[in-house]
Structure 1
Amino acid sequence: MIHRCLLLLLVAVFAHIASAVAFADELSIRTNQLGYLPDGPKLATIISPSDAPLEFQLVDAENVPVLQGRTRPMGFDAMAGLKTHLADFTNYRKTGEGYHLVVGESTSPAFSIEANIYDRLSVDAQSWFYLARSGTEIRKDIAGSLYARPAGHLGIAPNVGDTSVPCLDRDAAAKFYTELKWDCSYKLDVTGGWYDAGDQGKYVVNGGIAVSQLMDTVERGKLFASNAEKVLSDRRSRLPEQGNGVPDILDEARWELEFMLKMVVPHEERLAGMVHHKVHDTSWTGVPMLPHNDPQPRALYAPSTAATLNLAAVAAQGSRVFKNYDETFSTRLLTSAKQAWSAAQGHPDIIAPSANFDGGGAYGDDDVSDEFYWAAAELYLATGDTIYLSAIKSSPHWRGDVFGRGGHGAFDWANVAGLARLHLALYGSKLLGREDGDDARTSVIGAAADFIELQKKEPFGQIYHPDNGRYDWGSNHIILQNMIVVSAAYDLSDKQEYLDNVRESMDYLLGRNAMNISYITGYGTVFSKNQHSRWFAHQIDSDLPNPPPGSLAGGANSSLVDDISKEKLAGCAPQRCYLDDIEAYGSNEITINWNAPLVYIANFLDNTRTK
């Protein structure tokens, strides 16, 4: 009997040990791998099969416990396919490096608690755009030897180049522009601008929202930043124009604006004043392919109403932000904005098709009502002219729910009404008058409150909860755009909850996610470093670099569009549909319109203090 009891006891002990080992193997701690702000929320997500609360400790760099607590079980998260808990250590505010969270036998990666934790990210994210420039040498003394390269697309062999680009030939154009029946015989110098997404294409509609959000960083900074001098510094980014008396972010924005101005159809031609939708190779190049080695012919693609209104919007915004730095350029931008607006009024329905173009993306958009609303808003903010106010008020978006896209996102390149509403609320209070201004502000604050309600359902803390249970292409950038809406609500209301929610949402991008990876290159313990790019292609060619610090990966994408994702991610839970692989372009792209909101939010987080 004694032997049987002893045997049962040993079986129970070994079963307990085995269970504990299995539990430890299954348990994982997801934190913001960069760290936390002293006065901000500090939460971690614990992956655990346990239904009961778990004990956790916060330990310092010497492994001394400085705080203890118990997790809050959050249940099964279908988006991640994981059972989760929350550990909250917000009350701990002592600054330092080398902190860890400990749960049972598991320890998190080290992180910091520092007030300036987003300072370096704000610099890297905006310096990223210099490396996306077309038509100029990327200088070793600025970018470093790894990232230096000759100028691309200047017509120097093997480039055909962008110095004299023809329109797409008539036969090819006939396949895509069946209703417009478009062709042309002129050529344009469209040098400059930014390469869009690690390839050789340049797109006005994607450039439009990206350059707008860089200018937003300055415009918002002047009004709301706790240290506007930092945002307006002309010695902060890594770019050639540093120290010229113009904020570095605006120097970078000008590089794209100058390109967009070159995309206008000449006066004497059919569709004069309209703007070409894009310029890119007529056939795809492989990976890797440095811009100066690209041998493919280039072509201008048909003008579109969307592209024309993008120029009208950003040129009007640019006229505001450049006014105190370069009045001549400001005047030129405003003239161009008005001309583009008039051209779009004359051709309101030239739609960019969503076709399978060779050599570049389509960026098709069959609804330009939001672009009309955006362009009218920017022109009104720039001029105060009641003609544009009438256009705003006659838009279906004037009183519409511009942020209500089923939890998928506040706005993007194809849906810009939300961006227009933000600008009216943040910058238009004096022009709009009390009632209309209050309506705009109430709209933004109400949208932020709705986003926060969605955020509360997310065990990983991000402001993103798609109601169809699928993660969108570029989900990380959508998270940032939603964060921008909530950040605007904080600027408009001073309500602490909005600031805290933006701070918490950033955790997801920096490691507190189902993948346990920071999606920003160079930040955190484990981070994305093989994003899809033809020149940041170290994974394929060891002589080429990985993407630079501050590069944002697109993030989880439920649509498995590339071959490697179809092979390796079949059946993935939405938040885990991600591969850090250069061939996984569906989830691992880098693009200008994804890094631009990162610039905005990094500056917001670095330059906004609790009031």
Structure 2
Amino acid sequence: MTPSQPLRLSAALLTGALLLGGLMTGPASADVPATAAATSAVRVNQVGYLPEGPKRATVVTSATQALTWQLRNAAGTVVASGATVPHGADTPSGQSVQVADFSSYRSTGSGYVLAVDGNSSVPFDIRADLYDTLRSDSMAFFHHQRSGIAIDASLVGASYARPAGHLGVAPNKGDTSVPCQATVCDYTQDVRGGWYDAGDHGKYVVNGGISTWLVVNSFERAERAGKGAALGDSSLRVPERGNGIPDVLDEARWELDFLMRMQVPESKPYAGMAFHKIHDAAWTGMPLRPDQDPQPRELHRPSTAATLNLAAAAAQCARVFRPYDAAYADRCLSAARRAWTAAQANPAVYAPASDSTGGGAYEDARVTDEFYWAAAELYVTTGEPAYRDAVTASSWHTSADAFTPHGFGWADTAALGRLTLAMVPNGLPATDVSRVRSSVIAAADGHLSRMAAQGYAVPTPADGYFWGSNGNIADNAIVMAVAAELTGDGRYRAGALETMDYLLGRNALGLSYVTGYGERSSQNQHHRFWAHQLDASLPHPPAGSLAGGPNSGLQDPVALEKLTGCAPAACYVDDIGSYSTNEVAVNWNAPLAWLAAYAAERTSTGGEPPTACAVTYTVNNVWNTGFTATVTIKNTGPTAVDGWQLAWAYPGGQRVTSAWNATVTQNGTTVSARDAAWNKALPPGATTSFGVQGTHSGTNPSPTTFTLNGGACA
């Protein structure tokens, strides 16, 4: 949420009053970590570093001259040393700092400590599998947040097991037959399932849309890079594991089903639109498990923003699910088309800012960015001219404001459309695709520039510490990661990894914002049923949950009491009552999960580019309605390729009907060709060819843009 975005009140002023008025009074419990003053002056990623990745630490010191740093292994032996670089005043943190860079050290091990000027960091690791567990835990967050299903101890452990919430078991009113608010509609709707949005029991289409997109995009990106198996079937802790569908898509489907249930039925007013949200009629107190929630539930007025979120997420679903479940992909595409048509017919139905009783308002009176995002997803999925024209006619298609220093978010979604057009092969002219990709790279350059100017290397400006800042910071890291894949420039991957350093302890407070990760991590995030601070019989949030992060707005009573006068990057307190700094939310954990999966991939962080390649597309024969073509791939890089996937888009709407020497599939205009096992190995300088036969409609222009294993080819 940027300062220009609507305020997201996902916790109530009533909740704050309850907490301060009796449920929790006086100072925070002993579960709240010590203040920043008790942390080490040497701030590191408390989990550790990748062997070939960037390894930098920030040292809080009033010294103006360079200091000596020493890296010591678990035995206390000095294994590397050097001099810090003085930075001086760091405006966001209000601290004077220096930076120690030990990136050149690449040996692996546990228990390393960085010592500077008599101070030592917390112990950390250097290892290649550093992010494997976080990849799983951060994605498991969504299973924990599921509504309408029992959370089983066999998957989450006894502390986190609970009965299904909001299915109508007393005292719960349930989500299987929910009425609208007065005057909104005269019928009920089955809107069970989905993810609880944050620390309350509400479910919101606008936040669900961007969160689902990020979860699915994490897999789509990894699959395109040839690394989707890490998120494949039986890779995560979900009840659907073993069903032949990648687990990350199973998790996304739980929310997608809910989003489609929120669509207004045919023959009803606003048919095809999406109800904006569903939650309790009044705010509940804390703590409270969802199955114990006695409040009546209400559907809130449809909105154009929610409808376009549904259109975009469902169109992406149709594209990514098709190889695994064609019938479900068809269902998603049908819902997306209906939503798009309904939004066009109702382009200015806005959720009011005043609708914040019992749940956040999520108001958004500018939806041109959602129209652009939805059109981009529908076009890339279908290749249809109407959606292409909606993309190219949008002011967002050329606007530099699609990417801002403060990042994208639920109210600023144009960047999502731009990222899809940059990453997924499509039928736009090559010059258009090049311009879109250049905008991603320019945005990433801006983030790197801001990181270089700060002592803690955070990809946000000094005024970027607002409600949910950690989520927006993680979103900016995704832009850098995409730039890395588009260019092969290791600086961008390094920027994404250094953002993880910030989230995991290299920050103004010396605190990891991810539960269970790091020696000093958040553990009292604002949540209705992960509420150990209020009730010792309840658990802390599960490992892998990301706190909202510093918020200089201090928009809750606890933050006002404890943080007045704080520097922007230090406006955070690990207290369950501080919902404006310490809540969890699906749209904050989604980019964390995306980044954890990206960081966990076994690839050089020091600049190894995606596969360098050259592709030749030769039309061998063409007739009235058909053609044959030969595609030749050459490995122009210095390392061998072991397994390849080539992707392109047909600019003339051609359809592949058969292929040889490769397995070829097509979705809309996008074609994907995989190796045939016997030709998967491509040593440096080697070539391989395969053929396709297809149909055309009078014109047969050749594709001009190709990606191999996620990297652009010449």
* Structures share fold, TM-score greater than 0.5: yes
Shift of residue 432, structure 1, vs aligned partner? 1.5
* 1:511 and 2:505 matched: yes
Match of 1:408 among 406, 422, 425: 406
User: Which residues of structure 1 form unaligned runs of 5+?
Assistant: 1-23, 171-182
* 1:490 and 2:484 matched: yes
Shift of residue 470, structure 1, vs aligned partner? 5.2
Distance of 1:493 and 1:576 partners within structure 2: 35
2:473 alignment partner in structure 1? 479
Shift of residue 461, structure 1, vs aligned partner? 1.6
Distance of 2:325 and 2:514 partners within structure 1: 34
Question: What do residues 203-229 of structure 1 show as CA deviations (whole Å, max 9, x unaligned)?
Answer: 00000000011100111011125x332
Instruction: Give the structure with the higher percent strand.
Output: 2
Distance of 1:487 and 1:340 partners within structure 2: 31
Mapping 1:177-188, distance limit 5 Å: 183-188=184-189
Shift of residue 403, structure 1, vs aligned partner? 3.9
Contact 2:41/2:60 (CA < 8 Å) preserved in 1?
A: yes
1:366 alignment partner in structure 2? 365
Distance of 1:215 and 1:26 partners within structure 2: 37
Question: What do residues 355-389 of structure 1 show as CA deviations (whole Å, max 9, x unaligned)?
Answer: 25210000000000001001100000110001000
Match of 2:251, SS state, is helix
Shift of residue 465, structure 1, vs aligned partner? 1.6
Matched residue type, 1:601: L
2:11 alignment partner in structure 1? none
Shift of residue 276, structure 1, vs aligned partner? 0.2
Matched residue type, 1:241: E
Match of 2:211, SS state, is helix
Match of 1:86 among 94, 99, 117: 99
Distance of 1:211 and 1:26 partners within structure 2: 36
Match of 1:449 among 445, 450, 471: 445
Question: What do residues 60-93 of structure 1 show as CA deviations (whole Å, max 9, x unaligned)?
Answer: 0000001111111100112111100001111100
Distance of 1:184 and 1:316 partners within structure 2: 27
Match of 1:190, SS state, is coil
Shift of residue 471, structure 1, vs aligned partner? 1.2
TM-score, normalisation: structure 1 = 0.92
Distance of 2:414 and 2:250 partners within structure 1: 26
Distance of 2:419 and 2:552 partners within structure 1: 29
Contact 1:192/1:256 (CA < 8 Å) preserved in 2?
A: yes
Shift of residue 260, structure 1, vs aligned partner? 0.7
Match of 1:58, SS state, is strand
1:108 alignment partner in structure 2? 121
2:457 alignment partner in structure 1? 461
* 1:144 and 2:144 matched: no
Contact 2:402/2:418 (CA < 8 Å) preserved in 1?
A: no
TM-score, normalisation: structure 2 = 0.79
Distance of 1:167 and 1:582 partners within structure 2: 31
Match of 1:30 among 40, 43, 54: 43
Matched residue type, 2:150: E
Question: What do residues 93-127 of structure 1 show as CA deviations (whole Å, max 9, x unaligned)?
Answer: 00000100111321110000001100000000111
Change (3 A) 1:198 1:317: same
Question: What do residues 260-303 of structure 1 show as CA deviations (whole Å, max 9, x unaligned)?
Answer: 11111121211111110000001000110100000001000000
1:221 alignment partner in structure 2? 222
Identity level (%): 48
Q: CA RMSD in A?
A: 1.3
Distance of 1:576 and 1:315 partners within structure 2: 39
Matched residue type, 1:230: A
Contact 2:396/2:402 (CA < 8 Å) preserved in 1?
A: no
Matched residue type, 2:109: G
Distance of 2:449 and 2:510 partners within structure 1: 24
Shift of residue 352, structure 1, vs aligned partner? 1.1
1:238 alignment partner in structure 2? 237
* 1:257 and 2:256 matched: yes
1:154 alignment partner in structure 2? 167
Change (3 A) 1:158 1:25: closer
Change (3 A) 1:265 1:479: same
Distance of 1:106 and 1:264 partners within structure 2: 57
Mapping 1:295-314, distance limit 5 Å: 295-314=294-313
Contact 2:574/2:582 (CA < 8 Å) preserved in 1?
A: yes
Matched residue type, 2:461: H
Match of 1:571 among 552, 555, 565: 565
Contact 2:40/2:120 (CA < 8 Å) preserved in 1?
A: no
Contact 2:515/2:523 (CA < 8 Å) preserved in 1?
A: yes
Question: What do residues 451-473 of structure 1 show as CA deviations (whole Å, max 9, x unaligned)?
Answer: 1111111111221124xx35111
Distance of 1:339 and 1:272 partners within structure 2: 8
Distance of 2:197 and 2:212 partners within structure 1: 12
Change (3 A) 1:470 1:318: closer
* 1:169 and 2:182 matched: yes
Change (3 A) 1:41 1:424: same
Shift of residue 349, structure 1, vs aligned partner? 0.7
Match of 1:431, SS state, is coil
Match of 2:518, SS state, is coil
1:432 alignment partner in structure 2? 428
2:414 alignment partner in structure 1? 417
Structure 1 segments, 4+ long, off by >6 Å, are 24-27
Distance of 1:384 and 1:512 partners within structure 2: 44
Contact 1:26/1:49 (CA < 8 Å) preserved in 2?
A: no
Distance of 1:598 and 1:237 partners within structure 2: 16
* 1:50 and 2:63 matched: yes
Matched residue type, 1:80: S
Matched residue type, 2:538: L
Match of 2:431, SS state, is helix
